Structure 1
């Protein structure tokens, strides 16, 4: 570009955010910075509509010298008269140069102090030796500021670290990590609504047991869904019980079993009535038709003793399942990790109530493991680690930052609220769940011991459990389609910015990011096999796919259906008031009702799962309530190739959504949770 082309009038557009509080009455100043120098300091015109939410202010800057290639814009917020500080959300600055070239400076952040920020030009840049000094300095200052605002703290010994904000001080989170006003209002409204409804119906005052199992419908029907109504009808069926290991809320526990564990002494005679005369247990084991769900992680975890002042109980059961043609059905249950006369093996051929109570106990155990390990640890605490590490180690111009930020949106406030309201002292878990506040850190620590890289990568997870070919495994089928589409998208983005393995291994910001996740999230557990560094393009692609899948699709798979499956309490009792049965032939329906949660505990449990699976609104009511997977409304990638790759990814997701919806129309129990239109882009609930 010649000097004459670089000098003249630069036309700027400055876009404010659309949130109701995104505007400001403070003064905004802008400086253009190029390779050859800076412009003067220019104030955004004080026209009233330049300071409203959603406004795009226009300003012309006359520059009498050659700035050369634009590198960044320097934006300052300063006081207006004696008005108090008023935060401003800047979406982007767009600059049209005298030559007609347009430069985009995406920001999408709050400026909440009287301060100056530097916004780099929108091209993704990897730190290298030939980077301009102004850009290098901007990145250094940016990361110094974010590290000051985002510090780590130990939440509980032996579990991933979290952001250093007290759990009752959401307002002290950095502004960019807080909910939008609409989302915050919606979240509060949801909480108030469900609590008010249960109180008005009188359920929260009733501390006695249920007298009739059908009466539970009175509280489970406060809110309803098509699937929750169906679950209420079919919850006793063995086929439905088995199907939940494939398409329920905890679809990553079950494993193919080739040898019966010694601690679970199931023999041929026991299961013969179930598998029939044409085959036998040994043959079915060899054919790969036997599966095991082992809840050993719950062994010796202390149970809650504060629900209505009464001791609650936990079991660590084992459940053997058999693939009967296209159906998975339970054929044996032991409610202890230690066999013996007081730990009978329950069978479908036992009395109706013996078998039903055994299955209820397994469902209770599955709920505890699901909520603390599969849901909380893997899809809340790890995304928080990904979020804090990304903000601390990757500047906004880094392509990995641009790729990940839509998938980290609102995770920090979501988790801060969760630690206070759900798993904190006197929170929902203390009020209604067998694993209360005292047992959660212990169970999470045990879950950490089993957390591996392969278990977080869907293809590896499926293969390691021997679940590649079992039919009607919609979690696997839908999840693999999404994983492969995601992997292809990530691969294309990575290959656009990294031309060699050496570029990956020598990217200091990327390596610092991976190392911090390994240290703060996985506590440097080498047994996890989580990478502490990345040495190749292939390893980076797999790692980023894992991060995005965890923060979006995996969270949806284990979160969105909570109300559907747990609102009918007997299918997912949050707690049990009596110890597991130690003998057969003595259980009656009154015994089952006595063991199930009290009326008020049931109401609190249902309210909890409704809130956990209810996405708070954060956009206008006429809009969708979600930012679904693949929504990149905030244009962080400004180059044409990444924008084309995003559109290609969105098209693939649309095809997956169509096939998923067509499949769901043809099955008795639909599985909508991995329909891309139903997957939130990030952990924001």
Structure 2
């Protein structure tokens, strides 16, 4: 072929590509005669940094033509990123670069590209789009950091949004698919650098810090019968000096603990996370500084003082003092954030929902019971099966039928139990072995049992509270409305709430969402190619989880971290969660199975969920089943598009390797349990995927985003108690009789712990503005499969119907538990497809796809 002026069209143009001929001139050079693929690469703009521009280049892999020298798809020449155009959409700054490739006519459709970053900084690659010469548009959903070649020593590979089961992979992409999976697994050695895209497992051996002092020693969680635990992502830091089994920790506060680049926050998410954290720190520091100015760091003296935490009172002198102190300990940028927060009047905590309508509605017994069905921990209450109650430690309960039979609306205890009308909130057996060690740390904790009666209107009437200590007679408290009996009852309820707060934060929230999901993420990245349809399905439900968990290990759940400072469990917090992991079964994490196990639903094949609630007015259960059924229908449709029968599942090598690794490695301490799905059938796959998506999205939303609304006012849900309930004849009882309210306040956390705890849950309860919610994807081009798109559109429409149902339920005056005495509508499982929550903030509604905060 000549490279000068053509005298005739080359022979290859007389092909079946008329569109190509239309684009060519008979007198052009060889390069311009070739078909052209044009496209664009979109990069998130990082504050203070320019985009990569011509310092980055792209090459395309063909889906149809194999290079005989490599056995992989044929590669194009490199195209540099050019003509960057800055845009802003929804607060997100992006740079769009144009790219252009001249290809041979037989090149076909691109199936992957590699990008080479010769810039000195990493950049966040949002997506790529190509317009082929065959008038096809090929999308690449990237959403990952691309690090400089000087660090990675390798180009970065991205596959298009076309999904293939392993045995359907085009030959030109097969080797790329296998190589990428091998690369992601690494070799399990060495310390990970921030640019390493390697997924591997490790124990929770990085919580303690013996190099600081022995008070910060913590057991390794995972890998033993005594302390089983899900695995976390491996960082490979060297062992500590004094304990070779414990990984060393940075000397100072460090949020840059390793996670693979695909799991890191985007620039916008990181900016918002830091901003929200600064806002909480401002709240905390202002309150603490105020205490120093007043020379008072102990208990609150009145409920009005606690209420003032949410007032807009400001002191310019005080704020100036805090700013001066901050300059000595944080960066200039963080001081600027402080000043911005101060100008925007962020020095006050927002008003929690629990006291918005009625400042004292939380004291009502009906609200106490309602929060077990519609609060932030509605997943523990269950039907009482046996009476008298037995303990696994041989301790007898002190609750007698005479304590409760007069309060059963005319029923006998046997009649009420036969009708499943006696419910129990049980914080007894799992706490009892830990109490002596916990109470040695300066807190006052009981193990508790609370019995409640299900009335005809489905509200719960508290019947009795039993508070237990090792080697002591259990104390029994009955409801009362007058005199010191009412005040003692109020103290007993506070101890129950403290138990429930600890269980909620450590088990319902941390263990059963954050911790158990991480091994599934690692296994998915290691064993399921990004081209695998199940990887595409699960990917949005894993967004940011590993990064959130890494930050948690750094500042929340570590020795001396925020949870140890604010929760009654103290330095035994994670050890306690390990003990309760022993009872964790994956096949019981789906909502129908969970409700059935707790005796709050019965099997019913006529119901879409397979179960029927014991009573309709259980907001978490009722709304949750609507969400569960909707998720399962979507998963069923999705899987049926790619799998025709059970053999397709059992013969899928990537699915089988994925499930085996989850069972034998990620949750390896549970490998021998017989409740794992066999993963030999389509129904096994559907059930497992539905459960995973439920945990990461709806279940997490139900236990996370209502935290500030209920626990933002600590008297409603104290995180610890500093006094036991006083016994008659003691000096403490005399103190109690003198001023019951003041005694109650002294029993609550001190000001420091209270302020710190409220600051934490304010951050945890906030949605970020870039959050992606159930029924949404970051891009409408996340898949090129039209059948999948139609099914996903139906999924979103079904969620809209769920929203209408929830609104109707909340407006039904006969459903007493939907709002309760505190007048808080139950919206924690409201999907919010209208995207009100996407504006960010504390909304109490909206189900993010993933455990992303």
Change (3 A) 1:398 1:303: farther
Change (3 A) 1:265 1:343: closer
Supply the distance in 1 between the matched residues of 2:304 and 2:87 (Cα, whole angstroms). 58
Contact 1:95 1:104 in 2 (8 A): no
Supply the distance in 1 between the matched residues of 2:421 and 2:531 (Cα, whole angstroms). 51
1:73 corresponds to which of 108, 112, 133: 112
- Which of 331-340 and 1-10 deviates more? 1-10
Asked whether 1:403 is paired with 2:519, we answer no
Name the residue aligned to 1:16: 42
Supply the distance in 2 between the matched residues of 1:45 and 1:419 (Cα, whole angstroms). 38
1:184-223 equivalences under 5 Å are: 184-201=270-287, 202=289, 205=292, 206-219=296-309, 222-223=349-350
Asked whether 1:314 is paired with 2:462, we answer no
- Which of 158-167 and 599-608 deviates more? 158-167
CA deviation digits over 1:570-618, x for unaligned, max 9? 211111112455669945414323322112221111112212212244x
CA deviation digits over 1:402-442, x for unaligned, max 9? 11111111111111111222212222122221112x21222
Cα distance, 1:143 vs. partner?
1.3
Say which SS state the counterpart of residue 317 (structure 1) adopts: strand
Cα distance, 1:61 vs. partner?
2.9
CA deviation digits over 1:510-548, x for unaligned, max 9? 122222222344334257555264111111111001111
- Which of 365-374 and 177-186 deviates more? 177-186
Say which SS state the counterpart of residue 114 (structure 2) adopts: strand
Name the residue aligned to 1:622: none
Say which SS state the counterpart of residue 569 (structure 1) adopts: coil
Contact 1:228 1:563 in 2 (8 A): no
Supply the distance in 1 between the matched residues of 2:626 and 2:45 (Cα, whole angstroms). 34
1:311-350 equivalences under 5 Å are: 311-326=442-457, 327-336=459-468, 342-349=473-480
- Which of 666-675 and 496-505 deviates more? 666-675
Name the residue aligned to 1:554: 699
Contact 2:678 2:684 in 1 (8 A): no
5+ residue gaps, structure 1: 620-625
Contact 1:24 1:88 in 2 (8 A): no
Supply the distance in 2 between the matched residues of 1:412 and 1:546 (Cα, whole angstroms). 19
2:422 corresponds to which of 246, 267, 290: 290
Asked whether 1:599 is paired with 2:751, we answer yes
Cα distance, 1:3 vs. partner?
5.4
Contact 2:381 2:423 in 1 (8 A): yes
With CA pairs under 8 Å and 6+ residues apart, which has the higher RCO, 1 or 2? 1
Name the residue aligned to 1:674: 829
Cα distance, 1:641 vs. partner?
0.7
Say which SS state the counterpart of residue 294 (structure 1) adopts: strand
Supply the distance in 2 between the matched residues of 1:616 and 1:50 (Cα, whole angstroms). 23
1:150 corresponds to which of 180, 199, 202: 199
- Which of 322-331 and 43-52 deviates more? 43-52
Supply the distance in 2 between the matched residues of 1:219 and 1:90 (Cα, whole angstroms). 41
Asked whether 1:28 is paired with 2:69, we answer no
Cα distance, 1:71 vs. partner?
5.5
CA deviation digits over 1:24-66, x for unaligned, max 9? 1313132341322425313136334399963444444333352
Name the residue aligned to 1:623: none
Supply the distance in 2 between the matched residues of 1:652 and 1:78 (Cα, whole angstroms). 43
1:113-512 equivalences under 5 Å are: 113-114=148-149, 115-128=154-167, 131-148=169-186, 149-155=198-204, 156-157=221-222, 158-165=228-235, 168=254, 170=256, 172-201=258-287, 202=289, 205=292, 206-219=296-309, 222-230=349-357, 232-260=359-387, 261-262=389-390, 263-276=396-409, 278-295=410-427, 296-301=429-434, 311-326=442-457, 327-336=459-468, 342-349=473-480, 351-436=485-570, 438-467=571-600, 468-512=613-657
Say which SS state the counterpart of residue 300 (structure 1) adopts: helix
Cα distance, 1:319 vs. partner?
0.9
Cα distance, 1:198 vs. partner?
2.8
Say which SS state the counterpart of residue 559 (structure 2) adopts: coil
Q: TM-score when scaled to structure 2?
A: 0.73
- Which of 370-379 and 532-541 deviates more? 532-541
Contact 1:409 1:683 in 2 (8 A): yes
Q: TM-score when scaled to structure 1?
A: 0.91
Contact 2:679 2:685 in 1 (8 A): yes
CA deviation digits over 1:218-260, x for unaligned, max 9? 2255221444424742122111111111111111111111322
Supply the distance in 1 between the matched residues of 2:257 and 2:554 (Cα, whole angstroms). 13
CA deviation digits over 1:78-113, x for unaligned, max 9? 53xxx524435151232423x333433433333213
Name the residue aligned to 2:794: 648
Supply the distance in 2 between the matched residues of 1:502 and 1:584 (Cα, whole angstroms). 73
Supply the distance in 2 between the matched residues of 1:601 and 1:91 (Cα, whole angstroms). 44
Supply the distance in 1 between the matched residues of 2:232 and 2:616 (Cα, whole angstroms). 39
Change (3 A) 1:305 1:315: closer
Change (3 A) 1:491 1:94: same
RMSD: 2.8
- Which of 645-654 and 192-201 deviates more? 192-201
Contact 1:319 1:330 in 2 (8 A): yes
Cα distance, 1:657 vs. partner?
1.6
CA deviation digits over 1:457-484, x for unaligned, max 9? 0011111111122242110111111110
Say which SS state the counterpart of residue 103 (structure 1) adopts: strand
Contact 1:220 1:606 in 2 (8 A): no
Asked whether 1:89 is paired with 2:125, we answer yes
Say which SS state the counterpart of residue 94 (structure 2) adopts: coil
1:522-671 equivalences under 5 Å are: 522-525=667-670, 529-531=674-676, 533-579=678-724, 581=726, 586=733, 588=737, 589=740, 590-617=742-769, 619=770, 626-634=771-779, 635-666=781-812, 667=819, 668-671=823-826
Name the residue aligned to 2:141: 106
Supply the distance in 2 between the matched residues of 1:502 and 1:294 (Cα, whole angstroms). 44
Cα distance, 1:339 vs. partner?
9.1
CA deviation digits over 1:282-309, x for unaligned, max 9? 2111111001111122222258879xx9
Q: Which has the larger radius of gyration?
A: 2
Say which SS state the counterpart of residue 363 (structure 2) adopts: coil
- Which of 638-647 and 530-539 deviates more? 530-539
Say which SS state the counterpart of residue 571 (structure 1) adopts: coil
Contact 2:438 2:445 in 1 (8 A): no
Say which SS state the counterpart of residue 194 (structure 1) adopts: helix
Say which SS state the counterpart of residue 34 (structure 1) adopts: strand
Supply the distance in 1 between the matched residues of 2:797 and 2:614 (Cα, whole angstroms). 28
Contact 1:407 1:683 in 2 (8 A): yes
Supply the distance in 2 between the matched residues of 1:367 and 1:192 (Cα, whole angstroms). 25
Supply the distance in 2 between the matched residues of 1:498 and 1:632 (Cα, whole angstroms). 23
Cα distance, 1:638 vs. partner?
1.2
Name the residue aligned to 2:85: 49
- Which of 139-148 and 497-506 deviates more? 139-148
Supply the distance in 1 between the matched residues of 2:549 and 2:202 (Cα, whole angstroms). 14
